Copies of this chain bind each other. A is one copy, B any other.
Amino acid sequence: MTRPSRRLHDELFAAPALLECFSDRARVQGMLDFEAALARAEAEAGVIPAGAAARIAEQCRAEHFDLDELAASAVRAGNVAIPLVHALTSAVAREDPAAARYVHFGATSQDAMDTGLVLELRAALDWFDAELGRLNDTLAALAWEHRSTWLLGRTWLQPAPPVTFGMKAAGWLSATLRSRERLLALRRRVLVLELGGAAGTLASLGEHGLDVATRLAGARKLTLPELPWHAERDRLAELASALGILTGSLGKFARDVALLLQSEVGEVSAAAVPGRGGSSTMPHKQNPVGAAVILAAATRVPALVATLLSGMTQEHERGLGGWQAEWDTLPELCLLASGALAHALELARAVDVDARRMRANFEATGGVVLGEAVALALAPHLGRPLAHALVERACRRAAAEGLRLVDVLAAEREVTSHLSSEALEALCDPERYLGLAETWVDRVLESHARRPSRDEPCP
């Protein structure tokens, strides 16, 4: 009989690499990697016989274990490490009963589960770094290509003075650059060994505790922490937060694109992957699937971060409830963030800018968004309040009567007595009112060029 699965949306919401990374098999392999390395470290430290370590390590292959049986046993054991250790012990005993005595020697379930998790998280962090690198390169290319492609700015979902599409892309990029920076910086706090035995003292290993821990950390290329962190979970909460922030920034990107994709705006299209986003009923439809997935992740991830934070108040040496709350929450959070990132990369690559439509949308406003420019120019003559009020009135008239602002203003004595018609035209020319848009792009691209790599010591 097969056990019920729930993975219909797995590939939609998560990146394939991360699905592998947090699969049942990978979780079990993570724990087995811990057990194998523990045995070897203990053998090197003279705690257990070298032969036993070799026998144990040989059996530490996830594909030899029955995942369904482990899951069933976890119901009674309270976690999956206990039945796994039992199964591993039996497997070793079948080959070498003497060696079986040394399986999991001196460790506690949480040592295996936490270290196994950290090994999975390292693989996940490597993937995030690489994929973020790709996204950042793509956004940088967009920013550079459209450094000067101007369009309506929009604030409070209402028209505002013009910006450039490159500046928009640079804004998205600046956030994902900072996210990558955070994900690099936390590696040294997160990628640490867990080894403390029952209550964290490693008393089970007598005088060899520190030696074994040091060797084990070294073998798995993890940092040896100051002390075990069974009930101090800030390390995981930091990772969760950093991914939460990344997902939030991707959500902002997706929302922007989705708004630009509206048929009434139409300034961007996202060249459809064939078959992607069709409707079951509407032949004309191209649903922005990627944006939907990213926004769904941005809706779900914040709550998962809160769960990790709420679960931090873990009792004494190892907690009751808080730790268990992490087991599925952190992988799910990583998966959702990975899906958002993968879809963001695909979306960024698909974005196609329609500069003509951008111009048309600007024209359709009558240019009232440049009222600010005129008001500022009039301010020295009339004072800011008066200038603001005059232009506000003109904007309303332009909107109400479907006129261009420049034409309404050109008919106002109070304007023409201070501004020549050339000056007025210039003030109402969006291309002349882009301020630092291109400078901002350059600054972000510079920062992108300077980005730290994972191989350098991180800042």
- Smallest CB separation, A323 vs chain B (Å): 8
Please report which residues of chain A, range 243-265, place their CB below 8 angstroms from some CB of chain B when the two chains form the complex.
Answer: 244-245, 247-249, 251-252, 254-256, 258-259, 261-265
Kindly provide the distance from the CB of A407 to the nearest chain B CB, expressed in whole angstroms. 15
Cα of A77 to Cα of B254 in the assembled complex, Å = 18
Q: Which residues of A206-230 have CB atoms within 8 Å of chain B's CB atoms?
A: 206, 209-210, 225-230
- Which residues of chain B are within 8 angstroms of A109 by Cβ–Cβ distance? 279-281
Stretch at the interface among A36-44, A133-141, A374-382, A415-423: A374-382
Among B6, B108, B275, B283, the residue within 8 A (CB) of A76 is: B275
Q: Are A100 and B159 in contact (CB under 8 A)?
A: no
Q: Which residue of B lies closest to A259 (CB)?
A: B315
Query: Which of A124-132, A300-308, A348-356 has 4 or more CB atoms under 8 Å from chain B?
Result: A300-308
CB pair A23 B4 closer than 8 Å: yes
Q: How many copies does the complex hold?
A: 4
Within 8 Å of chain B (Cβ to Cβ): is A104?
yes
Per-position 1/0 for A291-317, Cβ under 8 A of B: 111111111111111110111111111
A271 beta carbon closer than 8 Å to chain B: no
Among residues 2 to 29 in chain A, which have CB atoms less than 8 Å away from a CB atom of chain B?
3-13, 19-20, 22-28
| Cα of A74 to Cα of B12 in the assembled complex, Å | 6
Q: A154-B317, A264-B361 are in contact. Are A443 and B300 (CB under 8 A)?
A: no
Which of B74, B245, B280, B435 contacts A8 (CB under 8 A)?
A: B74
Distance in angstroms between the alpha carbons of A189 and B24 in the assembled complex? 37
Q: Roughly how many angstroms separate A318 CA and B285 CA in the complex, as a whole number? A: 13
Q: Measured between alpha carbons, how far is A22 from B19 in the docked complex, in Å?
A: 20
User: A439 within 8 Å of B by Cβ?
Assistant: yes
B78 to A289, Cβ gap below 8 A? yes
- Give CA–CA (A367, B105) in the complex, Å: 21
9 contacts between A and B (CB under 8 A): A4-B25, A101-B380, A102-B379, A160-B285, A168-B316, A170-B227, A174-B229, A201-B433, A209-B436
Whether A305 contacts B97 by the Cβ 8 Å rule is no
Distance from A102 Cβ to chain B, minimum over Cβ atoms (Å): 8
A411: B residues at CB distance < 8 A: none
Q: Is the CB of B316 within 8 A of A259?
A: yes
The interface residues of chain B lying within 8 Å CB-to-CB of A182 are 238
Report if A198 contacts B (CB, 8 A): yes
Q: How far is the CB of A16 from chain B (nearest CB, A)?
A: 9
The one of B11, B304, B385 that contacts A303, using a Cβ cutoff of 8 Å? B304
A101 touches which of B201, B254, B383 (Cβ 8 Å) = B383
A455 within 8 A of B: no
Q: In the bound complex, do residue A237 and residue B227 qualify as a contact, i.e. CB atoms below 8 Å apart? A: no
CB A132 to nearest CB in B, in angstroms, measures 13
Chain B residue at smallest Cβ distance from A251: B313
Chain B residues within an 8 Å CB radius of A281: 104, 106-109, 197-198, 204, 372
